[in-house]
A and B are shown apart, each in its own frame.
Chain A
Amino acid sequence: MIYRESGQFKTTYAADQAMLPILQDKIFVLAVIALAVALPFLVSNYVIQALLLPFLIYSLAAIGLNILVGYCGQISLGTGGFMAVGAFAAWNILTRMPEMPILVGFVLGALCASGAGVLFGLPALRIKGFYLAVTTLAAQFFLVWLLQRPFFVDYSATGVISAQEIQLLGWTVDSGIDKYLFALAVVVIMALVAKNLVRSSTGRKWMAIRDMDVAAEIIGIRPMMTKLKAFAVSSFFVGLAGILWAYLYLGQLEANAFDIYTSFDVLFMVIIGGLGSILGSFLGAAFVVLVPIFLNIVPGWLGLPLDTAMVSYIEVFTFGALIIFFLIVEPHGLARLWTIAKQKLRLWPFPY
């Protein structure tokens, strides 16, 4: 009844091609952003640091991986490696050139991740499917190993490499709320970029390659450029997420923080959230970040006398079971459930 597009006439091409053509969607998205801005002032610092910040950063990584896996169809398990490259490149650039503005350093760091992505994307021109997925593990293991070499970390005296403070036009990002707002700004901007990119001609080429690369090649899409572009863009997002992870969440740089399980987590988010959906990346990130925390506190609510070790074992099991459950219920991910709900809402309360 409320969610209905009848009567909303498009009088220009621009209006017809708007990102959110329906007024209600526009209002909804703006409300969500307003809520996201207001949220840190309503919840405790712990919630910001332990829930919201990882959620935002993982969302960004998931959007990046979704571009590669969901839109271009190239399965990658090297996400952790590319995150590490972004973080370490940014740190090295900012350490060696202290006069550089921090945002420029971040962008350059993400570009380095982009370069690493292109390098490890080259085999994708010949290797496909699961063969490619396993090949990208080479990126994961090799990059994390490489970043532990003395050349990249010899600026530290104590062994712990702390990240530089983020200063922006006199705004020092140090408290939980500051970090959250900084991450939120980056994620919103990048999500907009991604959303617009995937509905541009580049995005359509990616989808053509995903659906059938041989056919796409025949109608004149160059597979090499298209795939490498997907790797470059995806790794840029992922690298940026790595930078935020190191600078905002950890506050220090540690190559082992970007291990293979990070890659798996991000791939989970993409698949549980929905392949080929920007919204799905957010939903998936929320699922993967929130579920373990939720599972951790449930036994406490129920008053079950379990020791912490047992809780963590049950958590592992339940997490696996939930993944299977969601895949069976909706193999196309949470984003599909959202779409179905919207379809239902259009007819509600008078379905014919």
Chain B
Amino acid sequence: MAFFIEVLVGGLLAGLMYSLVALGFVLIFKASGIFNFAQAAMVLFAAMFIAGMSGEWGVPLWLAIPITIVLMIGVAWVVERVVLRPLVNQEPIVMFMSTIGIFFCLIGIAEIFWGSSSRTLDVGIPRDPIFVGNMLFQTYDLVAGGIAVVLVLLLAAFAQWTRMGRVLRAVADDHQAAQAVGIRLSTVWVVVWSIAGFVAVVAGVVWGGNLGVQPVMVDVAFKALPVLLLGGLTSIPGAIVAGLIIGGGEALAEVYLGPIIGGGIQDWFAYMIAMAFMVYRPEGMFGEKIIERI
């Protein structure tokens, strides 16, 4: 039983990490209807710049992180100007493809600056294991889980209580109505991509601190996608709950199911959970009900 709880908690905390990446997707999808594949590249981009600046230029971390956040705002601005504005009103699949273009551009820039070698990123989160009874937990996972929770609360507070948050909710609700009352969509997009960039910085620090910073990091996207799907593309709480379900399910499946049908099932297990659930409810757990009209 202790082993079961240990695996489950480890899985749940890993699931929160997936949620961190999925959050960025959700924010942009809500505000602009764009399925932003570049989110994973933003995570890598942020992590590479933080690790690179602190490792190669000797910039202290407390300075490197804010600089990177400013950089992500710059990225958001450029993306809005160069990519989103000329493509406004195009079909969703074209927008999706353009974010794949952004994906490659960001990876390219990060590699031009910092190369593709693996770096460590030590943000001072303790990594000692702690024991509760006879169960073993990783401090790092607990702290990272805590960061994820704080980030979600921050985002919720921002959306609920600030003027900009209200604007974002209005746009998410109805683009045209929001424009009609005088909200500038282009500003909203820059803000939303900046917030997604901020989320990417947090995710990059947490992921990079745990596994090291290297280009393979973009593969976290493929972990975040089923989370996104299961939670529903438009729901922030959905991303968290789905992250927990998928993280927990995946860890348990790997331990208990893996030996029976062969290892390495974590690559696809989350997708299968998501797919099975989607057949039952096509918009995910908390997604907006899809209404079709002719």
Q: Which of B86, B90, B96 contacts A130 (CB 8 A)?
A: B96
Write the A69-83 contact mask toward B (1 if CB under 8 angstroms, else 0).
100000100000000
Q: Is B115 engaged at the interface, CB distance under 8 Å to the other chain? A: yes
Q: Which of B81-120 contact A (CB under 8 A)?
A: 82-83, 86-87, 90-94, 96-98, 100-109, 111-112, 115-116
Neighbouring A residues of B104 by C-beta, 8 Å: 316-317, 319-321, 323
Q: A130-B233, A131-B283, A142-B268 are in contact. Are A331 and B91 (CB under 8 A)?
A: yes
Neighbouring A residues of B265 by C-beta, 8 Å: 145
Residue of B nearest to A260 (CB): B222
B7 to chain A, nearest CB (A): 21
Q: A129-B92, A138-B274, A142-B272 are in contact. Are A271 and B97 (CB under 8 A)?
A: yes
A275 to chain B, nearest CB (A): 7
Task: Please tell me which stretch of A20-28, A120-128, A200-208, A338-346 contacts chain B, meaning at least 4 of its Cβ atoms lie within 8 angstroms of it.
Answer: A120-128
Neighbouring B residues of A218 by C-beta, 8 Å: 294
Write the A306-326 contact mask toward B (1 if CB under 8 angstroms, else 0).
000110011111111111100
Neighbouring A residues of B93 by C-beta, 8 Å: 69, 75, 271, 275
Whether B282 and A141, one on each chain, are in contact in the complex, defined by CB atoms closer than 8 angstroms, is no
Q: A130-B92, A316-B111, A324-B105 are in contact. Are A138 and B233 (CB under 8 A)?
A: no
Scoring B92, B103, B225, B233 by chain A CB atoms within 10 A of each residue's CB, the highest score goes to B225
Q: Is B167 engaged at the interface, CB distance under 8 Å to the other chain? A: no
Complex: A134 Cα to B92 Cα, angstroms? 14
Q: Is B260 engaged at the interface, CB distance under 8 Å to the other chain? A: no
Q: Is A327 engaged at the interface, CB distance under 8 Å to the other chain? A: yes
Q: Is A96 engaged at the interface, CB distance under 8 Å to the other chain? A: no
Q: Is A212 engaged at the interface, CB distance under 8 Å to the other chain? A: yes
Q: Which of A273-320 contact B (CB under 8 A)?
A: 275, 309-310, 313-320
A264 to chain B, nearest CB (A): 7
Residue of B nearest to A310 (CB): B112
Complex: A65 Cα to B262 Cα, angstroms? 31
Q: Is B56 engaged at the interface, CB distance under 8 Å to the other chain? A: no
Neighbouring B residues of A322 by C-beta, 8 Å: 101
Q: A127-B282, A135-B229, A142-B272 are in contact. Are A320 and B294 (CB under 8 A)?
A: no
Q: Which of A105-136 contact B (CB under 8 A)?
A: 122-123, 126-131, 133-135
Q: Which of B97, B268, B275 contacts A123 (CB 8 A)?
A: B275
Interface size on B, residues (CB 8 A): 51
Q: Which of A271, A272, A314 contacts B112 (CB 8 A)?
A: A314
Write the A248-288 contact mask toward B (1 if CB under 8 angstroms, else 0).
00000000000010001001100110010000000000000
Q: Is A168 engaged at the interface, CB distance under 8 Å to the other chain? A: no
Whether B105 and A313, one on each chain, are in contact in the complex, defined by CB atoms closer than 8 angstroms, is no
Q: A135-B271, A320-B103, A324-B102 are in contact. Are A313 and B225 (CB under 8 A)?
A: no
Q: Is B121 engaged at the interface, CB distance under 8 Å to the other chain? A: no
Q: Which of A135, A149, A316, A328 contacts B262 (CB 8 A)?
A: A149
Neighbouring B residues of A149 by C-beta, 8 Å: 262
Neighbouring B residues of A137 by C-beta, 8 Å: 222, 225-226, 271
Q: Is B207 engaged at the interface, CB distance under 8 Å to the other chain? A: no
B30 to chain A, nearest CB (A): 13
Q: A126-B282, A324-B105 are in contact. Are A313 and B111 (CB under 8 A)?
A: yes
Complex: A322 Cα to B293 Cα, angstroms? 37
Residue of B nearest to A151 (CB): B262
Neighbouring B residues of A272 by C-beta, 8 Å: 97
Neighbouring A residues of B283 by C-beta, 8 Å: 131
Whether A331 and B87, one on each chain, are in contact in the complex, defined by CB atoms closer than 8 angstroms, is yes
A10 to chain B, nearest CB (A): 35
Q: Which of B98, B111, B233, B267 contacts A327 (CB 8 A)?
A: B98
Q: Is B248 engaged at the interface, CB distance under 8 Å to the other chain? A: no
Complex: A131 Cα to B265 Cα, angstroms? 22
Residue of A nearest to B38 (CB): A320
Q: A310-B112, A317-B112, A327-B87 are in contact. Are A264 and B100 (CB under 8 A)?
A: yes
Q: Is A214 engaged at the interface, CB distance under 8 Å to the other chain? A: yes
Q: A134-B228, A215-B294 are in contact. Are A127 and B279 (CB under 8 A)?
A: yes
Q: Which of B97, B102, B267, B274 contacts A135 (CB 8 A)?
A: B274
Whether B229 and A271, one on each chain, are in contact in the complex, defined by CB atoms closer than 8 angstroms, is no
Whether A131 and B294, one on each chain, are in contact in the complex, defined by CB atoms closer than 8 angstroms, is no
Whether A317 and B97, one on each chain, are in contact in the complex, defined by CB atoms closer than 8 angstroms, is no
B237 to chain A, nearest CB (A): 18
A117 to chain B, nearest CB (A): 15
Complex: A180 Cα to B233 Cα, angstroms? 44
Neighbouring A residues of B233 by C-beta, 8 Å: 130-131
Q: Is B132 engaged at the interface, CB distance under 8 Å to the other chain? A: no
Complex: A130 Cα to B100 Cα, angstroms? 14
Write the B272-289 contact mask toward A (1 if CB under 8 angstroms, else 0).
101100110011100000
Neighbouring A residues of B222 by C-beta, 8 Å: 137, 141, 260
Residue of A nearest to B41 (CB): A320
Q: List 11 A-B contacts (CB under 8 A).
A: A75-B93, A135-B229, A138-B274, A142-B271, A320-B100, A320-B103, A320-B104, A324-B82, A327-B94, A328-B87, A328-B98
11 further A-B contacts with Cβ under 8 Å, apart from A123-B279, A144-B267, A331-B91, are: A130-B92, A135-B275, A142-B272, A145-B265, A149-B262, A309-B115, A314-B108, A316-B107, A320-B107, A323-B97, A327-B97
Closest 8 CB pairs of A and B: A317-B108, A320-B104, A138-B271, A323-B101, A320-B105, A141-B268, A313-B111, A316-B108
